[in-house]
Amino acid sequence: MKISLKIFGFIFAIMLTSIIANAQSDTIIWPGDINNNGIVNQYDLLYLGTVINMPCDPRDSISTEWEGQTASPNNQGLFFGDINIGFADCNGDGVVDSLDQEAIDTNFGLIHNNIANEDFTIINGNMPSMRFSGGVSNIALSNNQAYTFNIDLGSANNIVEDFYGIAFSINVNTDYVDFNSVVFELDQFWINPNQSTILSIVKKDFNTNQLHISIVRTDYSSVIGFSSIGKLSIVIEGNVPSATDVEIMNFEDVYMTNPYLEVREVDVQGLTIDVQTSVENPLQEKLDIYPTVLEDNQFNISGLEQLNNYQVNLYNTLGQKLEITIQNEQIEIKNPIHGIYFLEVISDEGRLVQSLISN
Ligand SMILES: [Ca+2]
Ligand SMILES: [Ca+2]
């Protein structure tokens, strides 16, 4: 009896060991956390761009649901050394493509474990600059006014070599900038000369007043160049006192990668400005513009009849003039867009610029 109990115990121990071993060999994927560091963020998109169109074994569960999902063991070792490519096939359908970006979008900011640092290999080379063009110093911005800056990467004297992707955060000083007004738009002209697919993500975090941005090529080849990678539009808050040398935006955690996910350092510079309390604008007194958050393609300006030789113009963030019709006090936008508009009223009495937002 004693012996058979011992044997039973021995067999039970072997079974238990094998169950534990099996459990340990399963690779658990959290959809969107491609580098498996515990959090879904903009840096995960850089990984996706390096394995686009790679086939792999589909999962049993084709889903981007935020729960641990078991990867196919056949994929082990296919992606940057020993990472299971199932991490990049976020939705588990058996191919890595732009659809997998949806998992990063949907699950952005979610955490499943202790967060580990982003882990890129840093290599030597040119250190290009990254800055808001036009905004290095000595520029004065006024209350309630809208501005657009380029985010310039590299320069004619310091060209970016081997560009494949870049991800970073922008901290916005909301003492001076209306965070609702901040809009980023991608500039593709030098980072995508052959017009292949570019993946990009822009997330606004209203808790931390940060923009999280990621841009990555997908065709396995890098480009060389410099200048704008995107435009950032902002509106300065109303009623802030005049101030000098205020840093209103800066960059954080910038990772610029080549196709092998190696990182070159970037020399970043924030945007420091002087803020001027608006001088009395007579148009501000005379006009009432409403609503400023648009629900459809219409808004109103009352008081126009008090102005001499007035003109009303509407622009998008690229500075392109949009077609409008004006009837009485009502302005109708011919082809409405989502995002930010800049309304300009010019007359003999002066000029007023006001931003409008369409959700
Ligand atoms: Ca991650
Ligand atoms: Ca997929």
Please check whether residues 125 and 271 belong to one and the same domain.
yes
Place of tokens 């593709």: 188
Structure tokens at 252: 């954080």
Please check whether residues 182 and 293 belong to one and the same domain.
no
Please check whether residues 141 and 245 belong to one and the same domain.
yes
Please check whether residues 246 and 159 belong to one and the same domain.
yes
**Structural domain boundaries enclosing 46:** 2-107
Ligand nearest to C-alpha 108: 1
* pLDDT score, position 84: 83
Contacts of 104 (CB under 8 A, 6+ apart): 32, 34, 40, 44, 45, 48, 90, 201
Domain with 134 in it: what CATH number?
A: 2.60.40.680
SS3 assignment, position 34: coil
Q: What is the Å distance from ligand 1's center to 35 Cα?
A: 5
- pLDDT tens digit string along 336-354? 988 888 899 989 888 888 8
pLDDT band per the 50, 70, 90 thresholds, residue 141: confident
Residue-wise DSSP of 52-92: TT-B-PPPSS----SS-EEPPGGGTT-BTTTB-GGGTSTT-
- For residue 58, cis peptide bond before it (omega within 30 degrees of 0): no
Residue-wise DSSP of 180-217: GG-EEEE--TTT-TT---EEEEEEEETTTTEEEEEEEE
pLDDT band per the 50, 70, 90 thresholds, residue 280: low
Rounded mean pLDDT, 173-199: 92
Please check whether residues 177 and 300 belong to one and the same domain.
no
Distance CA 23, CA 18 (A): 9
Distance CA 356, CA 183 (A): 12
Burial state string for 283-322 with b = 16 or more CB within 10 A and e = fewer than 16: beebbebeeeebeeeebebeebeebeebeeebbbbeeeeb
Q: What is the Å distance from ligand 2's center to 100 Cα?
A: 5
pLDDT band per the 50, 70, 90 thresholds, residue 179: very high
Please check whether residues 129 and 67 belong to one and the same domain.
no
Rounded mean pLDDT, 176-193: 91
Q: What is the Å distance from ligand 2's center to 58 Cα?
A: 8
pLDDT band per the 50, 70, 90 thresholds, residue 23: very low
Q: What is the Å distance from ligand 1's center to 102 Cα?
A: 14
| Residue 192 domain-assigned (yes or no) | yes
Distance CA 254, CA 167 (A): 6
Q: What is the Å distance from ligand 1's center to 73 Cα?
A: 21
> Would you give the distance in Å from CA 179 to the centre of its chain?
14
pTM above 0.85, yes or no: no
Q: What is the Å distance from ligand 1's center to 115 Cα?
A: 8
pLDDT band per the 50, 70, 90 thresholds, residue 240: confident
119 has pLDDT over 50:
yes
Q: What is the Å distance from ligand 2's center to 216 Cα?
A: 17
Please check whether residues 52 and 181 belong to one and the same domain.
no
Q: What is the Å distance from ligand 2's center to 127 Cα?
A: 35
> How far apart, in Å, are the Cα atoms of 265 and each of 160, 180, 227, 300?
11, 31, 17, 49
| Residue 115 domain-assigned (yes or no) | no
Distance CA 184, CA 229 (A): 10
| Residue 116 domain-assigned (yes or no) | no
Q: What is the Å distance from ligand 2's center to 51 Cα?
A: 11
Ligand nearest to C-alpha 83: 1
Q: What is the Å distance from ligand 2's center to 24 Cα?
A: 24
> Would you give the distance in Å from CA 196 to the centre of its chain?
19
251 has pLDDT over 70:
yes
Q: What is the Å distance from ligand 2's center to 259 Cα?
A: 20
Please check whether residues 241 and 332 belong to one and the same domain.
no
Q: What is the Å distance from ligand 2's center to 86 Cα?
A: 9
| Residue 326 domain-assigned (yes or no) | yes
* pLDDT score, position 274: 85
| Residue 113 domain-assigned (yes or no) | no
Please check whether residues 149 and 192 belong to one and the same domain.
yes
Q: What is the Å distance from ligand 1's center to 109 Cα?
A: 9
